[in-house]
Amino acid sequence: MKVAVLSGKGGTGKTLISVNLAAVAGLSTYIDCDVEEPNGHLFFKPDIVREELITVKIPQVDNERCAGCRTCVQFCNYNALAYVNNKLIIFDDVCHSCGGCVLVCPESALSEMDKVIGKIEIGVSGDVSVYTGILNTGEATGIPIINRLLEEGSLDENKSILIDCPPGSACIVMESIKDADYCVLVAEPTLFGAHNLNMVYELVKLFEKPFGVVLNKDLNEENPVDQFCADKGIEILGRIPFDHTLASLNSNAEIVVYKKEEYREKFVSLFETIMEKMQGETPSDEPNIVSLMAKRQCCEGAVNKQRDVQRCPEEARRSPVPSESGNDTASGQERMCVDALRDEQSDVSPGEERGAS
Amino acid sequence: MKQLLILSGKGGTGKTTVASAFIKLAKAKAYADCDVDAPNLHLVTEWNQKPVRRDYYGLPVAELTAELCTSCDLCRQHCRFAAVSAGDPYLVDPYACEGCGVCAYVCPTGAIEMVPAVAGDLKLYRDEEKVFSTAQLKMGSGTSGLLVTEVKNEMKTFACDASLAVIDGSPGIGCPVIASLSGVDMVLIVAEPSISGISDMERIIRTAEGFDTKIAVCTNKHNMNPTISEKIEQYCEGEGLPFMGRIPFDPAAVKAVNDAQTIVDIDCPSGVAVTEIFENTMALLFNRVSSIADG
């Protein structure tokens, strides 16, 4: 069984909850899907038994063959290619590895090569198998790492699997929860906490996942999260009281259930509650694509009207100029606007373009 | 206009608490919430009027017309995102689709079309004096970096004579953070004194170093773990990063947020501390560095 621990807001205690649940779950697997800022390994301090580099496919160009037709540049929806000064430039950090440019090139001038974006580490800490994904800094997306982590970490289905998700409710969270049997939503009793809880609540409802809420840093007084849960009829599975000792242990990356009996009892009881809830649920099927599509379309009644609207310029896809072409920019770290370059098609220097923003 | 971005790497260290206090102290005429995944700044800024809302279109999504589909399977074989599933009819999962257009390209019968899709909601608050740009990404959408850029553009478009723009960032180091870093003059990192907090701070600093921007650090809840708090300051000194100050743990801060106020709206220790950090930050941002006391 797989339990995903998530929260819209960061810093509410996803890692505290998932690490300590894994620690009381007997033989278990802890998977840290927060590949941008992985922290679970700091608590478990696992002995690493295996490491695997994660690569994605990115295009490379054979300049001898490239005829400068720009078919690939026009095809790429991510603006990962630009043709500047009679040369094809590839911005591999915004490339989504779709393979489209290689397909469309009439000269077969493009091929794919592997690029390392991060790694997964598999380790052991007592009864817990610890799976950690680490995205290299400067890389835009850790989704390939998450997919590999979940694939590897889910092999032993007899274990309790705890998935520590990234914050938010975007694609990266969706990847992390898509195969979960149960979702634990961690919230803190603030206005921000309630607002962000609402987002993940909508997400788990959309994916038809059974779920419950854990209130962390509970001050035992009226708060916006209790109010929200009462209004929506959401069950609170457990409460972790605000407590200086716990906060201090946790800040030192200690696993609190190993340190104090009182905390162990708390997490054992939370784990048992989650198990009971899961048994009461019929296992959820894969999300039904047809129903997802229907939902999406009802939110987007305006789509058809907009068919002719030009695509949103991907100005965000500003890429660092590869450092070997450092002569174009002072540091090789200058950002350039690919779109602007595409429009100008030639001699605009990145520095000038940047000044316009 | 000088742009100040508040980041943290780790979530929940107090980005929005600091950003909202800065906005208040600076009487900022331009500000934005780039945490499009989980925006909160609008909850603690005072606007009487409703925002102007518009749809944000991310990348297009593949749409398959079943009547034209011959089940040749080419689309499924070429899709790198496992968004197409075989069957009668073939189906495209709009959440898995990343909008590359390869399926539409390889389809021999033209059964697949790339259609624009709403991926979020842009909101612009504006009056004679000031502008506040914010957005909410649609659940499960994948183009948060693009939306972040839109949010910043909206703010810049209407921030005519503002000398300072305060931008609240998102946690992590990935695509929305990278998009928010582009073009800012200074990044203030709000760090939390924990083992996790230090690790995350180091990763966000490394990410920010890839950009042409000043980087400074402050700590929040510094007295929750004085030993690690001290380590953060030593780290900054070692790296040559200016340290702007410490905010103590303060129960009044939680109360302020729950009353939709900033910590400088009430008389509290964290409010006093953030005021000093604000002054140090402004001095650094506007090159009045000499006024910062050493250490």
Task: To the nearest 10°, report the CA torsion of B59, B62, B63, B67.
Answer: 160
Confidence class of residue A237 from pLDDT cuts 50, 70 and 90?
A: very high
Same domain, A32 and A95: no
Residues 261-290 of chain B with CB under 8 A from chain A are: none
Is it the case that residue A309 has pLDDT exceeding 80?
no
Whole-angstrom distance, CA of residue A45 vs CA of residue B244: 32
Whole-angstrom distance, CA of residue B201 vs CA of residue B203: 5
Task: Give all strands of the β-sheet with B243-247 in edge-to-edge order.
Answer: B52-57, B118-126, B131-137, B30-33, B164-168, B2-7, B186-191, B214-220, B243-247
Same domain, A194 and A269: yes
Is A113 contained in some domain? no
User: What is the nearest CA distance from B137 to chain A, expressed in angstroms?
Assistant: 7
Whole-angstrom distance, CA of residue A281 vs CA of residue A263: 27
Same domain, A321 and A216: no
- Predicted local confidence at residue B8, as pLDDT: 96
Confidence class of residue A282 from pLDDT cuts 50, 70 and 90?
A: low
- Predicted local confidence at residue A201, as pLDDT: 95
Asked whether the beta carbons of A180 and A3 are under 8 A apart, the reply is yes
Same domain, A288 and A202: yes
Confidence class of residue B281 from pLDDT cuts 50, 70 and 90?
A: very high
In sequence order, what are the residues at sequence separation of 6 or more whose Cβ sits closer than 8 angstroms to the Cβ of residue B290? none
Same domain, A341 and A224: no
Q: Strand pairing of A182-187 and A28-32?
A: unpaired
pTM of structure: 0.84
Backbone angles phi, psi at B14, to 5 degrees: 120, 25
Among A103, A252, A307, the residue with its CB nearest the CB of B225 is A252
Helices and strands (DSSP H and E) totals, chain B: 9, 13
- Predicted local confidence at residue B88, as pLDDT: 84
Q: For residue B56, which residues of chain A lie inside 8 Å, CB to CB?
A: 312
- Predicted local confidence at residue A175, as pLDDT: 84
Best of B36, B76, B139, B215 to disrupt the A interface (most A CBs within 10 Å) is B139
Q: Strand pairing of B164-168 and B52-57?
A: unpaired
Q: Does A104 touch chain B (CB under 8 A)?
A: yes
Is it the case that residue A191 has pLDDT exceeding 60?
yes
Q: Does A53 touch chain B (CB under 8 A)?
A: no
DSSP at B94: T
Choose the weakest-confidence range: A255-259, B91-95, B106-110, B188-192: B91-95
CATH code at position A285: 3.40.50.300
Among A174, A223, A333, the residue with its CB nearest the CB of B210 is A333
Superfamily, domain B2-56+120-291: P-loop containing nucleotide triphosphate hydrolases (3.40.50.300)
Is it the case that residue A286 has pLDDT exceeding 60?
no
What is the pLDDT averaged over residues A32-50?
97
Confidence class of residue A347 from pLDDT cuts 50, 70 and 90?
A: very low
- Predicted local confidence at residue A141, as pLDDT: 86
Whole-angstrom distance, CA of residue A162 vs CA of residue A8: 18
Q: For residue A57, which residues of chain B lie inside 8 Å, CB to CB?
A: 80
User: What is the nearest CA distance from B281 to chain A, expressed in angstroms?
Assistant: 23
Best of A312, A336, A338, A339 to disrupt the B interface (most B CBs within 10 Å) is A312
Is it the case that residue A310 has pLDDT exceeding 50?
no
Same domain, A166 and A21: yes
- Predicted local confidence at residue A305, as pLDDT: 28
Is A55 contained in some domain? no
Q: Is A90 helix (H, G, I), strand (E, B) or coil?
A: strand
User: What is the nearest CA distance from B41 to chain A, expressed in angstroms?
Assistant: 9
Q: Does A331 touch chain B (CB under 8 A)?
A: yes
- Predicted local confidence at residue A171, as pLDDT: 80
Is it the case that residue A229 has pLDDT exceeding 90?
yes
Who wins on pLDDT, B160 or A318? B160
Is it the case that residue A283 has pLDDT exceeding 90?
no
Asked whether the beta carbons of B147 and B135 are under 8 A apart, the reply is yes
Best of A190, A290, A308 to disrupt the B interface (most B CBs within 10 Å) is A190
Among A57, A316, A333, the residue with its CB nearest the CB of B148 is A316
Choose the weakest-confidence range: A45-54, A161-170, A336-345, B148-157: A336-345
Same domain, A278 and A324: no
- Predicted local confidence at residue B160, as pLDDT: 78
What is the pLDDT averaged over residues B56-82?
95
Same domain, A80 and A168: no
- Predicted local confidence at residue A319, as pLDDT: 35
Same domain, A153 and A263: yes
Q: What is the average pLDDT score of chain A?
A: 82
Whole-angstrom distance, CA of residue B289 vs CA of residue B295: 12
Asked whether the beta carbons of A196 and A7 are under 8 A apart, the reply is yes
Is it the case that residue A321 has pLDDT exceeding 50?
no
Whole-angstrom distance, CA of residue A110 vs CA of residue A103: 9
In sequence order, what are the residues at sequence separation of 6 or more whose Cβ sits closer than 8 angstroms to the Cβ of residue B12? A9, A10, A11, A12, A188, B171, B192
Partner-chain contact A252 B228, CB within 8 Å? yes
- Predicted local confidence at residue A311, as pLDDT: 31
Pairs across A and B, CB distance < 8 A: 253
Q: Does A302 touch chain B (CB under 8 A)?
A: yes
Q: Is A115 exposed, middle or buried (0-12, 13-18, 19+ CB in 10 A)?
A: middle
Residue B136 burial (CB count, 10 A): 21
Whole-angstrom distance, CA of residue B254 vs CA of residue B251: 6
Confidence class of residue A330 from pLDDT cuts 50, 70 and 90?
A: very low
Taking each helix axis from N to C terminus, what angle separates B269-285 and B15-26, rounded to the nearest 10 degrees?
70
Domain holding A259, by residue range, is: 2-48+120-292
Is A15 contained in some domain? yes
Burial A345-357 (b: 16+ CB within 10 A, else e): eeebebeebbeee
Whole-angstrom distance, CA of residue A249 vs CA of residue A12: 16
- Predicted local confidence at residue B289, as pLDDT: 62
Same domain, A67 and A44: no
Q: List the domain boundaries for chain B.
A: 2-56+120-291, 59-116
Q: Which two tokens stand for residue A21?
A: 């649940």
Q: Hey, what long-range contacts does B202-208 have (CB within 8 A, 24 or more apart)?
A: B202/B235, B203/A36, B203/A37, B203/A137, B203/B9, B203/B173, B204/B7, B204/B8, B204/B9, B204/B173, B204/B177, B205/B9, B205/B239, B205/B241, B206/A137, B206/A138, B207/A137, B207/A138, B207/B173, B207/B177, B207/B178, B207/B181, B208/B7, B208/B181
The 10s digit of each residue's pLDDT in A103-149 is 999 999 999 999 999 999 999 999 999 999 999 998 888 989 999 99
Q: Does A196 touch chain B (CB under 8 A)?
A: yes
Amino acid, single-letter form, for residue A266 = K
Tell me the HSE value of B233 on the side-chain side, using a 13 A CA sphere: 15
Structural domain total, chain A: 2
Among B92, B140, B192, the residue with its CB nearest the CB of A171 is B140
Is it the case that residue A340 has pLDDT exceeding 80?
no
- Predicted local confidence at residue A169, as pLDDT: 82
Partner-chain contact B196 A39, CB within 8 Å? yes
Is it the case that residue B291 has pLDDT exceeding 60?
no
H or E stretch including A57?
strand A47-61
CATH code linked to domain B59-116: 3.30.70.20
Choose the weakest-confidence range: A140-144, A216-220, B68-72, B228-232: A140-144
Whole-angstrom distance, CA of residue A76 vs CA of residue A99: 9
Same domain, A81 and A179: no
Is it the case that residue B280 has pLDDT exceeding 60?
yes
Is it the case that residue A216 has pLDDT exceeding 90?
yes
Residues 153-182 of chain B with CB under 8 A from chain A are: 153, 156, 170-175, 177-179, 182
User: What is the nearest CA distance from B35 to chain A, expressed in angstroms?
Assistant: 9
- Predicted local confidence at residue B76, as pLDDT: 97
Q: Is A241 helix (H, G, I), strand (E, B) or coil?
A: strand
Q: Strand pairing of B118-126 and B112-115?
A: unpaired
Cis peptide before B89 (omega within 30 of 0): yes
- Predicted local confidence at residue B235, as pLDDT: 98
Is it the case that residue A298 has pLDDT exceeding 50?
no
Partner-chain contact B172 A188, CB within 8 Å? no
Same domain, A206 and A349: no
Whole-angstrom distance, CA of residue A95 vs CA of residue A113: 12
Burial B208-235 (b: 16+ CB within 10 A, else e): bbbbbbbbbbbbbbbebbeebbeebbeb
The 10s digit of each residue's pLDDT in B149-197 is 999 999 999 997 899 999 999 999 998 999 999 999 999 999 999 999 9
Is A337 contained in some domain? yes
Whole-angstrom distance, CA of residue B209 vs CA of residue A243: 36
Residues 27-66 of chain B with CB under 8 A from chain A are: 37-38, 40, 43-44, 55-60
CATH code at position A343: 3.30.70.20
Tell me the HSE value of B247 on the side-chain side, using a 13 A CA sphere: 31
Strand partners, B215: B187
Is it the case that residue A33 has pLDDT exceeding 70?
yes
The 10s digit of each residue's pLDDT in B29-38 is 999 999 999 9
- The pLDDT > 70 percentage for chain A reads 78
Partner-chain contact B173 A306, CB within 8 Å? no
Confidence class of residue A172 from pLDDT cuts 50, 70 and 90?
A: confident
Q: For residue A10, which residues of chain B lie inside 8 Å, CB to CB?
A: 8, 10-13, 38, 171-172
Partner-chain contact B203 A15, CB within 8 Å? no
What is the pLDDT averaged over residues A228-236?
95
Confidence class of residue A93 from pLDDT cuts 50, 70 and 90?
A: confident
